[in-house]
Amino acid sequence: MSVGTEEKIEQRGSALHEFWQNLKSTPKSFLDTAFRGGAPKTDRTRSTFVFGNVFFHLHSVRTHRWSLRWTTTWGLGIATFAAFLITLITGVLLMFYYKPSPDVAYQSIKDIHFVVPTGRFMRNIHRWAGNVMVITVLLHMARAFYTAAYRKPRQFNWLMGMALLVVTLGLSFTGYLLPWDQLAYWAITIGANIAASPQEITNALGITQHFDPGGMQRLILLGSDTVGPEALIRFYLLHVMILPLVLALIVAVHFWRVRKDGGLARPADADRRLGPAKGTYPIFTEQPKKTYQLAAIVRGRTPAVGNGPEGTVPSMPHLFYGELAVLMLTVLICVALALIANAPLKELANPGVPENPAKAPWYFLGLQELVSFSAFMGGIGIPTIVLLGLGLIPYLDRETAGTGEWFGGPGGKKLAWRSVWFGLISVLAIESFVIRFGWLREWFPHIPQLVITAINPGTLLTLAYGAYSVWCVKKYNSTRAGAMALFTCFLCGFVVLTVIGTYFRGPNWVFYWSPADWPGH
Amino acid sequence: MSEEPKTPRSRLEPEPVSRRDVLGLMSLWAAASAMFFALVGMLRLPKAAVLSSPSKRFRVSLPQTLAAGEAFTPVGRNVAVYRDEQGVYAISRVCTHLGCIVKPTAEGFECPCHGSRYDRDGVVTKGPAPRPLEWLAVKEQGGALYVDEGASVAAGTKVKV
Ligand code: HEM
Ligand code: FES
């Protein structure tokens, strides 16, 4: 020992020389300290790279080939995340100029739109990326549902996903107010009153003075009894701080869970179906360096020490290339949309004159259609039922047939199509009926409100879908079949109601075949 | 097993709570309840004690020419004020459905947002509105008329002037 040290000291040369050498090698040693596994050039170092990096290690080191097929995910989860990143970056840029106060908010958006260099472009990208995010998150949920990917052990992650859905919609909704134009003001007025709509029930029962959860919700949301400066600052705070932080937090859990649940759901015989791998198929040849003390808490019987790849390929680069491709595609789409269409900006908010028609963002127009039957049922009752139903799916469907396969499970694609028909026909039938004949209030002006709250097109539709899906459970003798029927029906209902709300409702929420028929105003 | 007390249990199967864990549990619960009460305290903050909205009471001067049953809408107030043989009355123009501002028409009121209709007394005739429009308190004071948007009165209440 001591001999070696002495030798070293002799060889060291002057301190100045050493200083110079160290300085020269600093960039390299800096990289070595930042990325301790060495340059990611071999499978082993690439694995260490993924494993040792706090961001990359949300992926597992190796990825199953089934997960890498486009048709497994269509990249929708990553696209959602990419859209989130885009809104994050453009949003921070918008914050340089935006001022959350009713006197100046509108003017500052106008400045961003017309004066700030690249301001309009950034605003457009932000707006369209937000829309893209809503679309992809819905599609991603549908894909997780139709591939039966919510089953054991992924039940909890499905719930995390639902939380993400709610937060995503919350982000869009809170962002909608910020321009403080007519569109914003009235959408938020309606939204805040939907929060207060439990009053429809408490008023009918005459207990609002003593027990007013609806009024409390609105008060907390708006910080006042009308949409004003307090509401704007609250929405701003939610939009730029609270909800993005919550979303980032849950996304981290969501990704981590995907990894810990054993990668993406796949059929039990995925390896056989994929056949032998083509081309090179990297395997660890080195002996493992560690003893596996954590083996006791790893799931499964035997730790996979020094084992072959079992249908997996290294995540780096295979998975990363795919993710990068999806990221670039999402950026491309958002930028293209931003170049094609400007984000809307109406006149300054006017609390005395509502927009006519006053429409919420498009993805809420299905709800607005339901709300036009009953505020409480459309705005709170039915959405709550839907969310509860979605959340229960993984705990009720404990079957195994068809996991990881599109439309897997009894009934399969045929059941999905059948449900599409049922879903479309029922929603179209009931909509045509109300549009043609009106509803209870017109026939019996003095009918108690509670009757309308309970019996309206929205609740009847929900009931019809529920009954159909129970029938499917019986017919196919499978909970999965019932879930598939219900999910498909609600999806169709959502799409139809959204389309009607978007394209076929004009002034006074009257049905028009085309905006060209709207009375001039 | 009882003859061989030395056999250590697996670390992964915890023993029943031992005396030395009680202190630990107590501090855990103390911390948890402290945080719970802190949270409850913080939750009180977002509920405003004083509302920032402007005063709800305002003065109106009805034009001499106002015909019986014709709506007068004071600027910046979502109220319709009327005068007829029985007196002066005010009806709120805030839709009882989701708070849009209704428009007075010849037949009554109509709401642009989801198509609710009301008759001239504010009673719902169509659409999703759950309740009639509110009638608001009108007071005469020192020769001037005041309407209070914050105080509702029974439908049909008219004030003689
Ligand atoms: C901000 C919103 C969300 C983001 C960024 C996100 C992201 C992701 C990503 C990147 C994956 C990996 C596979 C893939 O790309 O499909 C994934 C998987 C998954 N997600 Fe999401 N997700 C979101 C919302 C949701 C929602 C709304 C649900 C359903 C309620 C959901 C349920 C799931 C499930 C069950 C998996 C596992 C799928 C499998 O194992 O095959 N996620 N998510
Ligand atoms: S707000 Fe008047 S009908 Fe909905």
**pLDDT more than 70, % of chain A:** 91
Residue A217 has pLDDT above 70, yes or no: yes
Parent domain of B76: 57-153
Of A224, A371, A373, the CB nearest to B53: A224
- Asked whether residue B22 is domain-assigned, the answer is no
The model scores a pTM over 0.90: no
pLDDT score at A309: 56
**What residues of A are in contact with residue B111 (Cβ under 8 Å)?**
508
- Asked whether residue B65 is domain-assigned, the answer is yes
Residue A311 has pLDDT above 80, yes or no: no
Residue B85: CATH number of its domain: 2.102.10.10
User: What is the 3 state secondary structure string of A12-53?
Assistant: CCCHHHHHHHHHHCHHHHHHHHHCCCCCCCCHHHHHHHHHHC
- Asked whether residue B6 is domain-assigned, the answer is no
- Read off the pLDDT of residues A249-308 as tens digits, 9 standing for 90 and up: 999 999 999 988 888 888 888 888 887 776 545 555 555 555 555 555 555 555 555 444
- Asked whether residue B132 is domain-assigned, the answer is yes
A132 in ligand 1 pocket by Cβ < 6 Å?
Answer: no
Domain count, chain B: 1
Confirm whether the ipTM is greater than 0.90: no
Chain A closest CA to B22's CA: distance in Å?
A: 26
Confidence band, pLDDT 50/70/90 cuts, at residue A1: very low
- Asked whether residue B81 is domain-assigned, the answer is yes
Domains and their CATH numbers in chain A: 61-350 (1.20.810.10), 359-521 (no CATH)
**Alpha-carbon distance B82 to B138, whole Å?**
11
- Asked whether residue B11 is domain-assigned, the answer is no
φ/ψ region of B102 (left if φ > 0, alpha if ψ in -120 to 50, else beta) reads beta
| Closest alpha carbon to A135 in A362, A384, A367, A345 | A362
Residue A414 has pLDDT above 70, yes or no: yes
Backbone phi and psi for residue A153, each to the nearest 5 degrees, phi listed first: -95, 25
**What residues of B are in contact with residue A375 (Cβ under 8 Å)?**
97-98, 128, 130
**Alpha-carbon distance A373 to A452, whole Å?**
8
- Read off the pLDDT of residues A39-52 as tens digits, 9 standing for 90 and up: 888 878 888 888 88
- Chain B positions contacting chain A at CB under 8 Å are 12, 46-48, 51-53, 76, 78, 97-101, 110-115, 123-128, 130-131
* Atom 1 in ligand 2: residue holding the nearest Cα: B98
State the distance from the centre of ligand 1 to the C-alpha of A389, rounded, in angstroms.
18
Burial class, A398, CB count within 10 angstroms (exposed 0-12 / middle 13-18 / buried 19+)? exposed
- Asked whether residue B118 is domain-assigned, the answer is yes
| Closest alpha carbon to A110 in A299, A389, A455, A349 | A349
- Asked whether residue B4 is domain-assigned, the answer is no
Q: Which residues have C-beta within 8 Å of that of residue A53, sequence separation ≥ 6? A: A35
* Atom 3 in ligand 2: residue holding the nearest Cα: B114
pLDDT score at A301: 55
Supply A78's token pair. 């990553």
State the distance from the centre of ligand 1 to the C-alpha of A316, rounded, in angstroms.
20
Provide mean pLDDT across the span B138-159.
87
A145 in ligand 1 pocket by Cβ < 6 Å?
Answer: no
Confidence band, pLDDT 50/70/90 cuts, at residue A2: very low
Beta bridge mates, B104: B109
Confidence band, pLDDT 50/70/90 cuts, at residue A110: very high
Run of H or E residues at B141: strand B135-141
**Alpha-carbon distance A110 to B127, whole Å?**
37
Is cis: bond before A100, omega within 30 of 0?
A: no
Q: Residue B76 and residue A374: Cβ atoms within 8 Å? A: no
